[in-house]
Structure 1
Amino acid sequence: MKDLRDYSLLNHNTFGIEAKCSRFLEYASVEEAQQVAAILRQEKAPLLIIGGGSNLLLTKDFEGVVIHSAIKGHEVLTAEDENHVLLRVGSGEEWDGIVALCVERGWQGAENLSLIPGDVGASAVQNIGAYGSEASHIIYKVEAVELATGLVCEIMADECQYGYRQSKFKTEWKNRFLITHVTYCLKKQAGTLNIDYGNIRAELDRRNIKEPTLKELREVIIDIRNEKLPDPKIQGNAGSFFMNPVVSREKFEELLAQYPQMPHYHVDDTHEKIPAGWMIDQCGWKGRSLGAAGVHDRQALVLVNRGGATGADVVKLCEQIRKDVAERFGIQIYPEVNII
């Protein structure tokens, strides 16, 4: 177990912002997670549990304890039926490596979530999603250590109350558990693939691929993401900064009358989802900067560190964008990123 004081978090946030924490604890096993829980019961300091730092914006030093999982490894478990496989993964594994593993073995369910940065544990907390898929579609159960007792718990997916970029781990269970493993349920044989979201089908058509394999679909999604999303190793960012708002049917129809070309995605009979990036672009923010913080020139949903930006710089930009979108469209957009 790592136990470090006055620790730099520069390598633990993809925005590339320098900040320190008073204490940094990292666990590499269930037993070490229980040791961390015992320490925290004595420490009584502010707590921040992080994954890969790809959904994190630090605005100042954190005067408390930061916890990170380094549990690695995966194992195949026996599924309840012959058409599925259960894959149990350590919470400290890199998410995209697990997606690559699933695709390589022909297991369907994770491919649309290719190249999303971060760790496996965060997939269960954030309910990461992209291209019409969410982690909750394949999560079977979550294993965790309860901080208050040190007990190992198994939490089934339906107990986590998953929603759009939401889970119980972000609300009433916040800072209650240290996630140690996540088990995913995947299809052994690829069936109908989800290719109707975003520009996936158009890119497949361009490549003259009518019925893609899992590998071909993953390659297309990776290429699309690389084309429009900056590499955080080159330009600091946290991927999609804002959540796409879900609006009422009445509000949607009102806006559609004003903007007939507005992209949208059906949610249910009374709600539609409108891309936040499109609204931000309509407000003229794509490619613009406010000091050292800016909006990516190819994807308006992404805020970037153009060099030397502080967390406060990014927050200032975020608030100005939110104000402009609210004034033009009458819609409130909210950060997906965890602002500390």
Structure 2
Amino acid sequence: MLEISGFDLLSSNTLGLPAHAAAMTRYRSTSQLRALSEICRAYPRAFVLGGGSNVVMERDLESLVIKVESAGVSVHSETNDELIIEAHAGENWHKFVSGCVGRGWNGLENLALIPGTVGAAPVQNIGAYGVELDQRFHSLVAWDMLDARLVDMDAADCQFSYRNSFFKQAKPGRWLILKVRFKLPRRWHAVLDYPDLRRHPVLEKAAASVTPKQIFDAVCEIRREKLPDPTLLGNAGSFFKNPIVTLAQYESLKSMVAGVVAYPQDGGLYKLAAGWLIDRAGWKGRRVGSVGVHERQALVLVNYGGATAQDIKRLAKLIQDDVMSRFGVLLEQEPVPVS
């Protein structure tokens, strides 16, 4: 396997932060797995990199970066009720979703235009517009770098929770996700719970006859209106998770400030809209040197050019401290720090 020392990662992270890896190698096929485990033992740590859309990279990494570039999509199995679609980890997530919709494999359309790769999707348990990945997840195949073995994992093994999973808590570089399988229903029904989708003119007009392609197109349109293109303005998408709070915390916040945006959750909990809190605190559109908060979406921190990880961290801390001071709510960072 080819190792490239001192690899420049500037173009491999969507925040556009300057960074160099101790070394980089590419994963494309299962024939490389045992050699990959051997290579990892020569470095203090390893980091698996997909599309680089959910990371904050330090300038100099001690890590061996494993760039996942495997490809392939197929029907793994099927029944009268569902299709099980298998995709290799290196597939671009949005292209995968688009391809599924185009083939009539429906159920992922609400997750359109999320940046990153298929392999990264379970790590973060991605979700958008009323659908979470774990609702469509069947199983995955992973390689245990330490024990050099293949492992099949179901949803229980992956320990999914809001923007979290077993893999996000595991030691970085221990697990390499190879393939992910999705269960897609043959009896499809539209998920239009999210307010932006309910208000979309095309979907509103279509009503009960709405199609997966119409939802896919609407989600793409909404995301493009709200979120900056990382090829034009460096960003890592949503930088903060939506906080989950108790009923008492929610009631206390409502007594302090009017119009709090929150969504009921299981167990009597409430999910607050982090973007609303940041906007209400006056950060939307603000710039601090080479970084800032996007003018259309307060959840997105942007790199105007020349920023470092320290610049991003400093801005994030300012926002976290201000939101805590005003509302008593802790904002948790979503992108993974890489060192």
The match for 1:47 is 46
Equivalent pairs counted in the alignment come to 337
How far apart, in 2, do the equivalents of 1:25 and 1:66 lie? 6
Q: Distance in 2 between matches of 1:242 and 1:150?
A: 35
2-side partners of 1:325 and 1:34: how far apart? 47
Matches within 5 A, 1:141-156: 141-156=139-154
The aligned amino acid for 1:71 is S
Question: Given the alignment of the two structures, is residue 338 of structure 1 paired with residue 330 of structure 2, yes or no?
Answer: no
C-alpha contact (below 8 Å) 1:245/1:276 kept by paired residues: yes
Q: Distance in 1 between matches of 2:173 and 2:144?
A: 9
Alignment partner, residue 261 of structure 1: 259
Which SS does the other structure have where 1:333 is aligned?
coil
Matched, 1:18 2:15: no
Counterpart contact for 2:87–2:181, Cα < 8 Å: yes
Deviation at 1:268, TM superposition (A): 2.3
From 308, 314, 317, the counterpart of 1:316: 314
Alpha-carbon distance in structure 1 between the residues aligned to 2:85 and 2:119: 14
Contact 1:108 1:189 in 2 (8 A): no
**Residues 122-176 of structure 1, C-alpha deviations (whole Å, 9 max, x = no match):** 0011111111211111111111111112211111122110000000011136432
Tell whether the 8 Å contact from 2:50 to 2:117 is kept in structure 1 after alignment: yes
For the residues of structure 2 that align with 1:94 and 1:240, how far apart are their CA atoms?
A: 18
Unaligned runs of 5+ in 1: none
**In the TM superposition, what whole-angstrom CA distance separates every residue of 1:235-261 from its partner, at most 9, and x where no partner exists?**
000000000000000111121233332
Query: Hey, what's the Cα distance between the residues in 2 that align with 1:125 and 1:293?
Result: 27
**Structure 2 counterparts to residues 28-43 of structure 1, below 5 A:** 28-41=28-41, 43=42
CA–CA distance in structure 2, aligned partners of residues 277 and 327 of structure 1: 16
Cross-structure match for 2:285: 287
What is residue 232 of structure 1 aligned with on the other side?
230
The letter of the residue matching 2:182 is Y
Q: Which of 241, 253, 267 matches 2:239?
A: 241
Which of 295, 298, 301 pairs up with 1:297?
A: 295
Question: What is the one-letter code of the residue matched to 1:261?
Answer: G
Compared CA separation, residues 264 and 9, structure 1 to 2 (3 A):
same
In 1, distance between residues paired with 2:305 and 2:282?
Answer: 22
Greater than 6 Å deviation, 4+ residue runs? none
Q: TM-score normalized by structure 1?
A: 0.95
**Residues 1:281 and 1:47: Cα distance change in structure 2 (over 3 Å):** same
Unaligned ranges ≥5, structure 2: none
Moved more, 22-31 or 114-123: 22-31
**Equivalent position to 2:159, from 154, 161, 172:** 161
TM-score (norm 2): 0.96
Query: Given that residues 10 and 16 in structure 1 are in contact (C-alpha distance below 8 angstroms), is that contact kept between their aligned partners in structure 2?
Result: yes
1:188: how far off? Answer: 2.3
Query: What RMSD over aligned residues (CA atoms) do the two structures have, in Å?
Result: 1.4
Q: Which amino acid aligns with 1:77?
A: H
